[in-house]
Amino acid sequence: MNAAGFPILSLVTWLPLAGCIVIMAVRGDEETVASNARWTALWTSLLVLALSLVLWVKFDPREPGFQFNESVTWLPHYRIAYKMGVDGISVLFVLLSTVLTPICILASWESIHTKVREFMLAFLVLETMLVGMFCAADFVIFYMFFEGVLIPMYLIIGIWGGPRRVYAAVKFFLFTLTGSVLMLLALIAMWLHAGTTDISVLMDTRFPVQMQTWLFFALMASFAVKVPMWPVHTWLPDAHVEAPTAGSVILAGVLLKMGAYGFLRFSVPMLPDASQYYAPLIYTLSVIAVIYTSLVALAQEDMKKLIAYSSIAHMGVVTIGIFTFNEQGIQGALFQMLSHGIVSAALFLVVGVVYDRIHSRDIVRYGGLADRMPAYALVFMVFTMATIGLPGTSGFVGEVLVIIGSAQINFWLALLGGLGMILGAAYMLYLYRRVIFGTITHADLRNILDLSPREWTVFAPLIALTLWMGVYPSSFTGFFDESVAAMVQHHHAAVSNTVKFAQGTQGDKQQR
């Protein structure tokens, strides 16, 4: 049995579905059902959050491997088991998902008023899929959760989204599915090669270098779409703009981390040679993403679209960090993922606040909000600074670690990657100035209301987390120090082995 004494990971994963059953069981008129669905969903997600805090307390940061392991036979002939486990890399993402879900439910308390029950159902199913994906210790189980995310997310964008929701939902679905099915082939090939799909066994399996190359591209097809990397990022702005606020929050907060998590969990440890060989390709795409999407963000007229493009740029920094293969780089990438999960989620909520009041996301529609909404201006400022990477906020730590990590690879990589911070400051401050400062030009802004207590409840934990991560980062990095160190060591050992082997065979040839 595991450290918690009971199958905690399965409980955290499947508990939201129990909430679904309760919500579905309710009968009555629409108002009763809606209010019941809201409260049940909120309490379920809070219960899940409370349970997941057991992971925070009981997790042993000195142990690099999987913890809280669970295993149930599932398809014994194929050596696939229902395996759950978290290590330093995944544990914080489980927490990120469980923290953001109640926040999303709170944020959509009033803004969703049609089909409330179905919305809450979709969200709880989504939580199950996300948590299950981060907990999976078996590739097939991972894949099922990874693709299963599509179903609730497709519905969330398509039913409760904006005017072009159908286009956005279908585009999101098809982009992601195309990548995923290629990963499925890679999964099958790895399964046949290793004889099992247990992730920890696969990490120690040596795949032939030739095979690694195409496995790497098959996996990349899937993860790059999710990250999203340039040039397969085009689904993201559409999905973000059309999704309801809570949908954007979970999309930016957790769904974008799925791709980067996939790189860290599968590509880098299982395919070390191919990862090393194709790292320059990833660098190139990431640098293009950072610079290009930052420039695109500068030109946006729509607040959500601007933040969506900034997300792509930030995720570009993450992929650079992952493929530096040194401790600073990978730690920075992980930290940046967590920080971006909190900060970009918060920024979408910030946009949601004014959207709920004015029903417009056009930047020109606003101006001078500081006058009427001082508290809002403050909250907006905190997250703007965090996304820019001001020291003392969470954004700083991740970016700096990645830059340090990439400077060990190449000076230009560090410089170009770091350019994102400067451009980020440009577009975010420009946005902030246009929305918050200046004079009020639109009449309806004169009697706009400041943050409500419910909105404060939503933002308070996010502000606290942002500052905590910025001021005392080691309470978070402590979780993944050992896992990352083990991963880096494993990677370099594997690569130098291959090099030695290659030199050995060459030497043999020369002797002959």
Contacts of 403-408 spanning 24+ positions with Cβ under 8 A: 403/332, 404/328, 404/329, 404/332, 405/321, 405/324, 405/326, 405/327, 405/328, 405/329, 405/330, 405/331, 405/332, 406/320, 406/321, 406/324, 406/329, 408/324, 408/326, 408/328, 408/329
What minimum distance in Å lies between the beta carbon of 179 and other proteins? 9
* Cβ closest to other proteins, residue 218 vs residue 409: 218
Cis peptide leading into residue 228 (ω within 30°): yes
Amino acid sitting at position 270: M
* Cβ closest to other proteins, residue 117 vs residue 361: 117
Rounded to the nearest 10 degrees, how much is the dihedral formed by the CA atoms of 434, 437, 443, 447?
Answer: 130
3-state secondary structure 400-428: HHHHHHHHCCCHHHHHHHHHHHHHHHHHH
Question: Two tokens at 109?
Answer: 């308390």
In the complex, the residues that contact other proteins under the rule CB under 8 A are 74-77, 115, 118, 143-144, 147-148, 150-151, 154-155, 158-159, 165-166, 169-170, 173-174, 177-178, 181-182, 184-185, 188-189, 191-192
What minimum distance in Å lies between the beta carbon of 239 and other proteins? 14
Report the C-alpha gap between 362 and 439 in whole angstroms. Answer: 16
Residues 6+ apart with CB under 8 A from 396: 389, 390, 470
* Cβ closest to other proteins, residue 132 vs residue 473: 132
* Cβ closest to other proteins, residue 76 vs residue 453: 76
**Please, what is the Cα angle at 334 between 332 and 338, to 5 degrees?**
115
What minimum distance in Å lies between the beta carbon of 271 and other proteins? 17
Report the C-alpha gap between 108 and 164 in whole angstroms. Answer: 20
What minimum distance in Å lies between the beta carbon of 170 and other proteins? 7
Q: How far is CA 263 from CA 67, 258, 321, in A?
A: 20, 9, 11
What minimum distance in Å lies between the beta carbon of 455 and other proteins? 29
What minimum distance in Å lies between the beta carbon of 25 and other proteins? 14
* Cβ closest to other proteins, residue 188 vs residue 375: 188
What minimum distance in Å lies between the beta carbon of 428 and other proteins? 34
Burial 350-372 (b: 16+ CB within 10 A, else e): bbbbbbeeeeebebebbbbbbbe
Query: Helices 411-436 and 394-407 meet at what angle, rounded to 10?
Result: 160
Question: Two tokens at 414?
Answer: 């560090």
Residues 6+ apart with CB under 8 A from 52: 12, 94, 95, 98, 131
What minimum distance in Å lies between the beta carbon of 73 and other proteins? 8
Cis peptide leading into residue 231 (ω within 30°): yes
* Cβ closest to other proteins, residue 22 vs residue 426: 22
What minimum distance in Å lies between the beta carbon of 174 and other proteins? 6
What is residue 362's DSSP assignment?
B
What minimum distance in Å lies between the beta carbon of 115 and other proteins? 8
* Cβ closest to other proteins, residue 125 vs residue 403: 125
* Cβ closest to other proteins, residue 246 vs residue 353: 246
* Cβ closest to other proteins, residue 39 vs residue 191: 191
What minimum distance in Å lies between the beta carbon of 217 and other proteins? 12
* Cβ closest to other proteins, residue 182 vs residue 353: 182
* Cβ closest to other proteins, residue 169 vs residue 401: 169
